[in-house]
A and B are shown apart, each in its own frame.
Chain A
Amino acid sequence: MLIIAALAAGLIFGIGLIVSGMANPAKVLGFLDVTGNWDPSLALVMVGAIGVGVVAFAIARRRPQSLLQAPMRLPTATDLDVRLVLGSLAFGVGWGLVGFCPGPAVVALGTGLPKPIAFVIAMLAGMLVFEWLDRKRAG
């Protein structure tokens, strides 16, 4: 059941990205271009998603287990550290350079087009570099 739930959630997430226009890097860049000809659409994606999310997480926070009896695994970190800021900074720059963030990149990968494939390979490489450095740091 957990697998089917995750599959359904992924499918709805992907449809949401496509319907909202967020799967299209050109539209994302239109949103990030605040000093130019600005397309505010993606602010509404956030409004819609967070509007539902606030209710869901308020319920989730009160439950030790999910409805399918899985342990509730919510993030516990609260520290505003250098890693959070530097990581988000690097991510934001990469996002602004081409208009892809991880979710839309995976959705775009589904088209089989060469550019999304190149981006996802580079993204996985970047994640592997992080894993390698993180393991080295942990000793």
Chain B
Amino acid sequence: MITSAIIPRPLARLPWRLIFLVAAIAGFGLVVLYSAAGGSMQPWAVKQAIIFCAFLTVAVGMSWLKESTIKALTFPVYGLTLLMLIGVEGLGFVSKGAQRWLDLGPIRLQPSEFMKPAIVLTLARFYELVPPGEIRKWRAIWPALLLLGVPAFLILTQPDLGTCIMVVLCGVTVMFLAGLPWWLFAGPAALVAVAAPIGYGMLHGYQRKRIDVFLNPESDPLGAGYHIAQSKIAIGSGGIWGKGFLHGSQSHLDYLPEGHTDFVFATMAEEWGLAGGVLLIFAFAMVIRWGMKVSANAKTRFAQLAAAGLSATIFFYVSINLMMVMGLAPVVGVPLPLVSFGGSAVMTVMLCLGLLMALERHQRTTSTIG
């Protein structure tokens, strides 16, 4: 926090370190997008800069929201988002083979994006309402499963496996932190571990092949494994210091597919090397750590759970994307927030950060009072 006589108090109150950090990540993203376009601001960098600035403004604006306001809006927003998800099923706009967009005249909305922070807030609110003594009861579990399961199912049928996984992971994280019994998490995890090989045996040929390709992309370098194989080549060939700005051949010669969206990290790693990658991962780690600290310092149960859940959302975004790009996870279509081109991920992350800033401001102001 900058304390200076010249800067007006409300501005000085903003968490400037976080804003600088986020702006730095986004700025680096613009540099990568500039390179991915072959050394041009068009068509991605300029657009992305505008989107980022717009959502940063929204986030900063949101930081003045009161915790009580957030609480009050949680269930209505959740309900509205759920309605929009159902709307997508009916009136959705088909893009890239999946129905994700709701076309509302001038704006196109992707309701599944709103669901990520919405599910976190909703579950945080729900567990705040559950009395501590009831937390291990069935009553504390089934409504949460329903609140999480219905939107997850709707998103899965769009189909958008990546977002579905993220929504589920965010929700589960909040439930885990809320103190639900261990076996509820350990049980299914063990079940999946046991069932996976059996399920694999029962799969159809082409389904099994998809998994084979994920486990060993080189087995089908021109087909399904192409994305991962080329992405690994881009990252691996970058070395420690990279090939240099604008010198990434994998991205510039189109060998790397989706080099400006989902695989933007590979584009970056090719030109900036391990150094750039580690720097970016640390920057994200700092952002997430900031969010986790907001949660740890929170005074209310809602703030605790919401802040942790929102930080986890950012964490899952980043880690799923990076695992996918580095060949540790199947290609599920999760972009790298703030770096990948496109508004949805920026919007979601900025909503999360806006809410986190609001919660942080709330604890600071209350702490100064009390």
Partners in one complex: no
B-contacting residues of A (Cβ < 8 Å)?
A: none
